[in-house]
């Protein structure tokens, strides 16, 4: 092992060669990690998606007329979050590589909870858009942190599940958020505060308390986890050694930036995020408006969004089940996009009439299947990128394009196109067709790279690291001939 390429904290707990962890011990350790880390990622992402979803529910609860929003101002309240995330993503990723990650996460959760609660006091667009910008600043920490944590604590074969479990909170939010919004809708108009104000205040206060819990409960890394014994810390390092993607390294390596710039998969990740989030960003902001335009009442719309969440969760759980059973990731990603394309076409060609609302609603529901692709896309990043500096760059690029898509998405839904939003649906359809092409190309690239590396070892041009001696060294996936891509 080259200790110059191994993080000092990791080196204290790592053996020279791999220590085999038996299955029973590995399961015990995973349960401990799930309790301390996965539970926090799931809870935090649920809180974040609930917080983000408040604006969509508030849109049909009176916030638009009561804060005097006109034209595209409502769309900008969603877009501004992702524009800010886009701007802060690179420094955010540099920060989380260098600071105690759990403490940084907890602090930001508390700050965005306060920001959310303050929405209730706003009376105009200027106040709301300012708070939404700060919300984007504080919420930018979540997804990059979770992608990093999923790769740090979990084995490669476990990472698809770990990512899906926290990412599917987007769907759970639709269920819980719809039910809560339905309840808040019963606040009478004569009350001291409006229903949408109560919604923001309640979620904001809950978020602050959750942030405080995260500060207390979550460890920063396997090496600094006071809640685990020294022996368990060593075994936690060893159980992820086979990943060959490292655990932690705080040294910034400029050569890994160039490696990322020359890596085709990085550009594929960026396009995948853009083609996924442009549709999801627009649909997320306008979902309630679209469903209501089918001919449903406000209360019916809120309850029907619960079904949307259930479909989303089912699609994502099905995807991770297929991934784990078949050891295929990109093929189920591609399969999940096909129903989405079909549903989009139906919404484009069928008139929005009350007598056709059941069929239109079904078409909207099958569109949601693409969320399975979204979750697995992030697991490709955690499993197929080696080198800590490179991983920081790739995660930053990934979420810059994630934020770009989410900021553009609401803007393609123009008021003049309501209620059909034909142009927006046409753009969404184009995104999913391009997504299929990108996924097919990425899978072909992975297969070619794996065969190329197998050939080098078979011909004796490189040595097989069967004892995983160099697995914890801070080298990139492209530099490591023993690294194999998962597809």
Q: Which two tokens stand for residue 363?
A: 């078409």
With contact defined as beta carbons under 8 Å apart, do 120 and 200 qualify? yes
DSSP string, 307-328: HHHHHHHHHHHHHHHHHHHH--
pLDDT at 325 exceeding the cut of 90: yes
pLDDT at 23 exceeding the cut of 80: yes
Q: What is the pLDDT of residue 480?
A: 93
pLDDT at 134 exceeding the cut of 80: yes
Query: pLDDT of 343-395, one tens digit each?
Result: 999 999 998 888 899 999 999 999 999 999 999 999 999 999 999 999 999 99
pLDDT at 314 exceeding the cut of 80: yes
Q: What is the pLDDT of residue 184?
A: 84
Mean pLDDT of 74-86: 87
pLDDT at 189 exceeding the cut of 80: no
Q: What is the pLDDT of residue 298?
A: 79
Q: What is the pLDDT of residue 276?
A: 97
Query: pLDDT of 432-451, one tens digit each?
Result: 999 999 999 999 999 999 99
> What is the sign of the dihedral through the CA atoms of 115, 119, 123 and 125?
positive
Mean pLDDT of 52-76: 86
How many angstroms from the chain centroid is the CA of residue 191?
37
The tokens 């994630």 sit on which residue?
A: 402
The tokens 């004569």 sit on which residue?
A: 190
The average confidence (pLDDT) of the chain is 91
pLDDT band at residue 71 under the 50/70/90 scheme: confident
Mean pLDDT of 225-251: 90
Instruction: Return the closest-CA partner of residue 97 out of 284, 295, 215, 248.
Output: 248
Mean pLDDT of 41-60: 88
Query: pLDDT of 96-109, one tens digit each?
Result: 988 999 999 999 99
More confident residue, 14 or 439: 439
Q: What is the pLDDT of residue 1?
A: 66
With contact defined as beta carbons under 8 Å apart, do 147 and 395 qualify? yes
Q: What is the pLDDT of residue 97?
A: 84
By mean pLDDT, which of 2-11, 73-82, 314-323, 366-375 is the weakest?
Answer: 2-11
Distance CA 336, CA 426 (A): 19
Q: Which two tokens stand for residue 66?
A: 């009561």
Q: What is the pLDDT of residue 191?
A: 81
Interior angle at CA 328, CA 325 and CA 330, nearest 5:
140
With contact defined as beta carbons under 8 Å apart, do 111 and 138 qualify? yes
By mean pLDDT, which of 49-53, 366-370, 433-437, 455-459 is the weakest?
Answer: 49-53
Instruction: Return the closest-CA partner of residue 84 out of 319, 410, 407.
Output: 407
Count CB neighbours of 220 within 10 A: 17
pLDDT band at residue 283 under the 50/70/90 scheme: confident
pLDDT band at residue 188 under the 50/70/90 scheme: confident
pLDDT band at residue 149 under the 50/70/90 scheme: very high
The CA dihedral of 306, 310, 313, 314, to the nearest 10 degrees, is -170
Q: What is the pLDDT of residue 3?
A: 65
Q: What is the pLDDT of residue 370?
A: 95
pLDDT band at residue 125 under the 50/70/90 scheme: very high
Query: pLDDT of 405-424, one tens digit each?
Result: 988 988 898 888 877 889 99
């Amino acid at each position: 092992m080259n200790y110059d390429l191994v993080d000092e904290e990791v080196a204290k707990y790592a053996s020279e060669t791999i220590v085999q962890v038996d299955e029973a011990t590995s399961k015990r350790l995973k349960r401990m990690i799930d309790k301390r880390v996965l539970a926090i990622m799931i809870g935090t992402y649920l809180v974040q998606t609930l917080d983000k979803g408040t604006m969509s529910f508030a849109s049909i609860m009176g916030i638009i007329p009561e804060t005097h929003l006109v034209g595209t101002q409502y769309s900008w309240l969603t877009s501004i979050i992702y524009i800010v995330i886009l701007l802060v993503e690179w420094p955010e990723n540099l920060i989380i590589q260098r600071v105690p990650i759990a403490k940084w996460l907890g602090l930001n959760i508390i700050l965005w909870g306060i920001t959310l609660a303050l929405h209730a006091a706003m009376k105009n667009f200027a106040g709301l858009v300012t708070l939404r910008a700060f919300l984007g600043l504080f919420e930018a920490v979540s997804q990059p942190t979770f992608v990093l944590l999923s790769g740090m604590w979990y084995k490669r074969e476990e990472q698809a599940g770990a990512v899906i479990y926290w990412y599917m909170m987007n769907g759970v939010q639709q269920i819980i958020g719809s039910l809560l919004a339905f309840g808040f809708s019963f606040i009478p108009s004569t009350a001291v505060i409006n229903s949408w104000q109560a919604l923001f205040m309640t979620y904001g206060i809950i978020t602050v308390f959750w942030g405080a819990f995260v500060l207390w409960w979550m460890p920063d890394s396997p090496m600094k986890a006071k809640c685990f014994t020294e022996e368990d810390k060593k075994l936690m390092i060893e159980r992820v050694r086979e990943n060959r993607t490292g655990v932690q390294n705080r040294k910034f390596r400029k050569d890994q930036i160039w490696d990322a710039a020359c890596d085709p998969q990085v550009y594929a990740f960026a396009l995948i995020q853009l083609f996924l989030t442009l549709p999801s960003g627009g649909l997320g902001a306008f979902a309630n408006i679209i469903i209501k335009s089918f001919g449903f009442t406000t209360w019916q719309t809120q309850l029907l969004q619960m079904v949307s969440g259930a479909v989303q969760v089912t699609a994502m759980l099905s995807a991770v089940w297929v991934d784990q059973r078949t050891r295929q990731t990109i093929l189920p990603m591609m399969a999940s996009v096909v129903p989405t394309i079909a549903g989009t076409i139906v919404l484009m060609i069928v008139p929005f009439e009350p007598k056709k609302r059941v069929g239109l609603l079904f078409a909207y529901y099958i569109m949601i299947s693409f969320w399975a692709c979204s979750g697995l896309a992030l697991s490709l990043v955690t499993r197929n990128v080696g080198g800590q500096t490179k991983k920081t760059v790739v995660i930053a690029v990934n979420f810059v394009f994630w934020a770009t898509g989410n900021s553009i998405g609401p803007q393609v839904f123009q008021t003049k196109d309501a209620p059909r939003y034909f142009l927006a649906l046409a753009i969404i359809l184009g995104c999913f067709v391009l997504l299929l092409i990108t996924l097919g190309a990425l899978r072909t690239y992975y297969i070619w790279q794996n065969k190329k590396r197998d050939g080098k070892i078979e011909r004796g041009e490189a040595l097989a690291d069967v004892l995983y001696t160099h697995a914890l060294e801070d080298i990139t996936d492209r530099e490591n001939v023993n690294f194999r891509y998962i597809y």
